[in-house]
C-alpha cells in the first residue's frame, strides 16, 4: 500500500467517493486539509461565511442529488454554529457528511483554544459520530461515514480530524464504499395482511412522508392511492411525495391542531408511508388517530414504525419497492365492488377539490389589489413568472399555504422545504439545490425573519455566481409566533379576553433585505406594487445571476 499523509488520504477518499464540492468555512484547525486541497483540482471549495450556511448548502445539495454531500467546518466554536443546520439534516434524513478539524491530540491535556469533544457535540444529531486517531484510519472512517449517510433511513454523520492525524504518514489503501443495495422488500405475510385490510376498507386514508420521495416512490404511491380511492394527506413534509394537483391530494395535516383528528376520524384503515406518525410542535390533548382506525405503516425507518400508535401491520421496506408490491397485491385482493367504490370515492374527491379551488380563487380575487400586497397575490404573480422546470426552496413559514395553492408540485424534486424547523435552511439550501441541478432554475421563497439566520449565503451566491432567485416575504414580523401566541391564549388557555403585546415578534425597523443583498453583491429590487412582481422575477431569472426580490406583503393576522 502507498505511504501518504492523512490529509492526502482524506482528499483522495473524497475524490474516490465522487465528491464534487466541499461546503465549508475554514479555521486554523482545518489548515492541513486546506493545504492538501490545493493539489487536487477535482474538488471545488464553496466558501461560506458562517458554518450554518455551509451545512445548509450541503443539505440542499445532498437532497437534490440524492447523494451524500461533504461539509467541513471549524472545531468546537464553528461546529456549534453548524449544529442548527445539522439538526435539520438529522430530522429530515439528509445524507450530509459533516467534518471538522480538531486540536493535535498531543496537546489535549492542556485543553487547547477552541477545542472540545466534537463527537459528543454531534452525537445526538447524527447516525454516526467519530474522531479519527490514526492516519491509517482515514479511508475506513470516510468510507463508513459515506455508507452510513446514504443507507436508508439516510441521515447526517460527523467525523473529526485532529491535526496530527492529517500530517502523519501511514500505509494507506484508498478504496471507496460499494453502491449499497437498499431496495428491501416487505415481509410476505405482512404484505398479504396489509393488502387484505386495505382491500376491504370502506374509507381508507393515506398519510405520506418524505421517505417516499427519498426512495423515488411517488409513482408507486399514486398507483396505490388511485387503486384505493383514498384521500392523501401529508404529515409534515418538505419534498414532493404526491402530486399536489392530483384529485386525491388533500394537503398537509396540521399535527399541532386537534382538527387533524377530525380529518382522520372515520377512516377505517390509515396507510402511513415513509412518514413519522406523528411529529408535532404543540401539545394536543387528544390522540390524532382514532382508536377505531387500523394503522398500516410502510417505512424504511424501523424506529418510526409502531413508535407512538398501536399498529395493525408494520412493513419494513424500501417505500418504492413496498408500494409496488402493495399495488399488485391490491389488484388481486380488491373485489369488483370494492374497485367500483374506490372509483366513486375518487370522483367525489375530485369534485370536492374543485369546489375548494373555486373558494380559493374567490379569496384571491377579493384581495387582488390589496395594499400592502396580499400573500396570495404575491404567490400568484411568482407562479406565473417562474420558468418551466423551476425548483422551489421553501422557508416561507406563514406564507407557505398561499405558495402551495399557487404552485403545482407534481414532479419529484420540484419542491424542497425546511425540515426540522431550525430557521436558516433556504438561503443556503437553495444554493445547494442549484449546484446539484445547474440546468434548472431555482426560486427560494423565504420569510423576512427566516432569511436573516443565514443571510450571508447571498455573498456566496454572488461570489460563486450561483443564480438563485430569492423572493422575500417581507411582512415585518415573526408572524407565526403571533399566530401561535393567539392559539396559546385562545385554544390552550381558553382566554378570549387577554390581548397579547406580541413581545419580540415585530420588526420595529422593517428589514431592508434589498439593501442587504446589494451590500453582499446580489442584485435586488424592492417591491410594493404587485404588478411589478412578475416582470422583476422574469428579469432576474433572465439575468443568469443571483437576485433578490424584497416583497412587502400584508402581515396582519
Chain residues that interact with Mg ion, rule: CB under 5 A: 447-449, 475, 477, 479
Size of the site for ligand TPP (CB under 6 A): 19
Given ligand TPP, Mg ion, none, residue 450, with its beta carbon under 5 to 8 Å by kind, binds ligand TPP
Binding of residue 480 to ligand TPP (CB under 6 A): yes
Interface characters, 425-464, with ligand TPP (x: CB under 6 A): ----------------------xxxx--x-----------
**Which range in 16-24, 137-145, 275-283, 477-485 contacts ligand TPP by CB under 6 A?**
477-485
Q: CB of residue 388 vs ligand TPP: minimum separation in angstroms?
A: 28
Given Mg ion, ligand TPP, none, residue 319, with its beta carbon under 5 to 8 Å by kind, binds none
Measuring CA to CA, how many Å separate 334 from each of 195, 199, 202, 342, 349? 9, 5, 11, 10, 20
Q: How far from chain centre, in Å, is Cα 133?
A: 33
Radius of gyration of the chain (CA): 25
Binding of residue 53 to ligand TPP (CB under 6 A): no
Q: Of 355, 348, 359, nearest to 248 (Cα)?
A: 348
Q: CB of residue 472 vs ligand TPP: minimum separation in angstroms?
A: 9
Q: CB of residue 476 vs Mg ion: minimum separation in angstroms?
A: 7
**Which range in 147-155, 262-270, 306-314, 397-405 contacts ligand TPP by CB under 6 A?**
397-405
| CB of 341 or CB of 483, closer to Mg ion | 483
Give the one residue of 260, 399, 419, 456 binding ligand TPP; rule: CB under 6 A.
Answer: 399
Cβ atoms of 43 and 19 closer than 8 Å: yes
Given Mg ion, ligand TPP, none, residue 215, with its beta carbon under 5 to 8 Å by kind, binds none
Given ligand TPP, Mg ion, none, residue 516, with its beta carbon under 5 to 8 Å by kind, binds none
Q: Of 540, 400, 390, 537, nearest to 473 (Cα)?
A: 400
Spatial distance between the Cα atoms of 23 and 33, rounded to a whole number of angstroms: 13
| CB of 428 or CB of 449, closer to Mg ion | 449
| CB of 421 or CB of 521, closer to ligand TPP | 421
Spatial distance between the Cα atoms of 426 and 440, rounded to a whole number of angstroms: 17
Spatial distance between the Cα atoms of 48 and 466, rounded to a whole number of angstroms: 13
Binding of residue 91 to ligand TPP (CB under 6 A): no
Q: Of 13, 48, 3, nearest to 132 (Cα)?
A: 13
| CB of 11 or CB of 430, closer to ligand TPP | 430
Spatial distance between the Cα atoms of 126 and 144, rounded to a whole number of angstroms: 13
Spatial distance between the Cα atoms of 54 and 59, rounded to a whole number of angstroms: 9
Given Mg ion, ligand TPP, none, residue 480, with its beta carbon under 5 to 8 Å by kind, binds ligand TPP
Task: Map the footprint of ligand TPP across residues 403-422, applying CB under 6 A.
Answer: 421-422
Residue-by-residue DSSP string for 343-372: HHHHHHHHHHHHHHHHHHHHHHHHTTT-SS
Given Mg ion, ligand TPP, none, residue 5, with its beta carbon under 5 to 8 Å by kind, binds none
Spatial distance between the Cα atoms of 512 and 474, rounded to a whole number of angstroms: 9
Given ligand TPP, Mg ion, none, residue 399, with its beta carbon under 5 to 8 Å by kind, binds ligand TPP
Residue-by-residue DSSP string for 408-443: ---STTSEEE--SS-S--HHHHHHHHHHHSTTS-EE
Cα–Cα–Cα angle for 117, 119, 125, rounded to 5 degrees: 125
Binding of residue 60 to ligand TPP (CB under 6 A): no
Q: CB of residue 544 vs Mg ion: minimum separation in angstroms?
A: 29
| Residue where the block lists cell 483540482 | 41
Q: Of 44, 1, 2, nearest to 23 (Cα)?
A: 44
Given ligand TPP, Mg ion, none, residue 308, with its beta carbon under 5 to 8 Å by kind, binds none
Cell representation of residue 543:
439575468
Given ligand TPP, Mg ion, none, residue 481, with its beta carbon under 5 to 8 Å by kind, binds ligand TPP
Spatial distance between the Cα atoms of 191 and 108, rounded to a whole number of angstroms: 54
| CB of 119 or CB of 480, closer to ligand TPP | 480
Query: What is Dmax (Cα atoms) for the chain?
Result: 76
| Residue where the block lists cell 400592502 | 372
Q: State which residue has the least CB distance to ligand TPP.
A: 447
Give the one residue of 481, 513, 516, 537 binding ligand TPP; rule: CB under 6 A.
Answer: 481
Give the one residue of 125, 278, 478, 541 binding ligand TPP; rule: CB under 6 A.
Answer: 478
Q: CB of residue 277 vs ligand TPP: minimum separation in angstroms?
A: 23
Helices 188-199 + 319-333 axis angle, to 10 = 50
Q: Spell out the residues 6+ positions from residue 268 whose beta carbon is closer than 8 angstroms to its own.
A: 201, 202, 203, 204, 292, 293, 294
**Which range in 37-45, 127-135, 214-222, 396-404 contacts ligand TPP by CB under 6 A?**
396-404
Q: CB of residue 520 vs Mg ion: minimum separation in angstroms?
A: 20
Spatial distance between the Cα atoms of 4 and 136, rounded to a whole number of angstroms: 9
| CB of 337 or CB of 504, closer to ligand TPP | 504
Residues making contact with ligand TPP (CB under 6 A): 84, 397-399, 421-424, 447-450, 453, 475, 477-481
Amino acid at each position: 500500500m502507498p505511504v501518504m499523509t492523512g490529509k492526502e488520504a482524506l482528499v483522495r477518499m473524497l475524490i474516490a467517493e465522487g465528491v464534487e464540492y466541499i461546503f465549508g468555512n475554514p479555521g486554523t484547525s482545518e489548515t492541513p486539509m486546506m493545504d492538501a486541497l490545493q493539489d487536487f483540482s477535482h474538488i471545488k471549495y464553496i466558501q461560506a461565511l458562517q458554518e450554518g450556511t455551509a451545512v445548509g448548502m450541503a443539505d440542499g445539495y445532498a437532497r437534490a442529488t440524492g447523494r451524500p454531500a461533504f461539509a467541513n467546518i471549524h472545531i468546537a466554536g464553528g461546529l456549534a454554529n453548524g449544529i442548527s443546520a445539522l439538526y435539520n439534516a438529522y430530522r429530515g434524513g439528509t445524507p450530509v457528511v459533516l467534518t471538522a478539524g480538531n486540536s493535535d491530540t498531543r496537546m489535549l491535556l492542556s485543553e487547547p483554544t477552541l477545542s472540545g469533544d466534537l463527537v459528543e457535540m454531534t452525537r445526538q444529531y447524527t447516525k454516526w459520530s467519530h474522531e479519527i486517531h490514526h492516519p491509517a484510519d482515514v479511508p475506513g472512517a470516510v468510507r463508513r461515514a459515506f455508507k452510513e449517510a446514504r443507507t436508508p433511513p439516510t441521515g447526517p454523520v460527523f467525523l473529526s480530524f485532529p491535526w496530527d492525524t492529517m500530517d502523519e504518514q501511514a500505509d494507506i489503501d484508498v478504496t471507496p464504499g460499494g453502491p449499497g443495495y437498499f431496495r428491501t422488500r416487505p415481509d410476505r405475510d405482512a404484505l398479504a395482511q396489509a393488502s387484505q385490510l386495505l382491500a376491504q376498507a370502506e374509507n381508507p386514508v393515506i398519510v405520506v412522508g418524505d421517505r417516499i420521495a427519498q426512495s423515488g416512490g411517488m409513482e408507486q404511491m399514486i398507483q396505490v392511492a388511485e387503486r384505493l380511492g383514498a384521500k392523501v394527506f401529508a404529515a409534515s413534509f418538505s419534498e414532493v411525495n404526491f402530486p399536489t394537483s392530483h384529485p386525491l391530494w388533500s394537503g398537509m395535516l396540521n399535527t399541532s391542531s386537534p382538527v387533524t383528528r377530525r380529518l382522520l376520524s372515520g377512516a377505517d384503515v390509515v396507510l402511513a408511508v415513509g412518514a413519522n406518525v406523528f411529529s408535532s410542535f404543540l401539545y394536543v390533548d387528544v390522540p390524532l388517530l382514532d382508536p377505531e382506525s387500523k394503522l398500516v405503516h410502510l417505512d424504511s425507518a424501523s424506529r418510526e414504525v409502531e413508535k407512538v400508535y398501536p399498529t395493525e401491520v408494520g412493513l419494513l421496506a424500501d417505500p418504492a419497492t413496498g408500494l409496488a408490491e402493495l399495488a399488485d397485491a391490491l389488484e388481486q385482493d380488491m373485489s369488483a365492488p370494492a374497485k367500483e367504490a374506490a372509483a366513486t370515492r375518487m370522483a367525489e374527491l375530485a369534485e370536492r377539490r374543485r369546489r375548494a379551488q373555486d373558494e380559493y380563487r374567490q379569496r384571491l380575487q377579493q384581495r387582488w389589489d390589496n395594499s400592502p400586497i396580499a400573500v396570495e397575490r404575491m404567490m400568484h404573480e411568482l407562479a406565473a413568472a417562474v420558468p418551466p422546470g423551476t425548483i422551489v426552496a421553501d422557508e416561507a413559514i406563514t406564507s407557505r399555504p398561499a405558495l402551495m395553492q399557487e404552485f403545482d408540485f407534481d414532479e419529484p424534486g420540484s419542491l424542497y422545504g425546511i425540515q426540522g424547523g431550525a430557521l436558516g435552511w433556504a438561503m443556503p439550501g437553495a444554493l445547494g439545490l442549484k449546484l446539484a441541478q445547474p440546468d434548472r432554475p431555482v426560486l427560494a421563497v423565504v420569510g423576512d425573519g427566516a432569511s436573516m439566520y443565514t443571510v450571508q449565503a447571498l455573498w456566496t451566491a454572488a461570489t460563486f455566481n450561483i443564480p438563485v432567485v430569492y423572493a422575500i416575504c417581507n411582512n415585518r414580523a415573526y408572524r407565526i409566533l403571533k399566530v401561535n401566541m393567539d392559539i396559546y391564549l385562545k385554544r390552550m388557555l381558553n382566554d378570549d379576553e387577554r390581548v397579547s403585546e406580541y413581545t419580540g415578534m415585530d420588526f420595529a425597523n422593517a428589514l431592508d433585505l434589498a439593501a442587504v443583498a446589494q451590500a453582499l453583491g446580489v442584485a435586488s429590487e424592492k417591491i410594493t406594487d404587485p404588478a411589478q412582481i412578475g416582470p422583476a422575477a422574469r428579469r432576474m431569472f433572465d439575468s443568469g445571476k443571483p437576485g433578490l426580490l424584497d416583497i412587502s406583503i400584508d402581515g396582519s393576522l
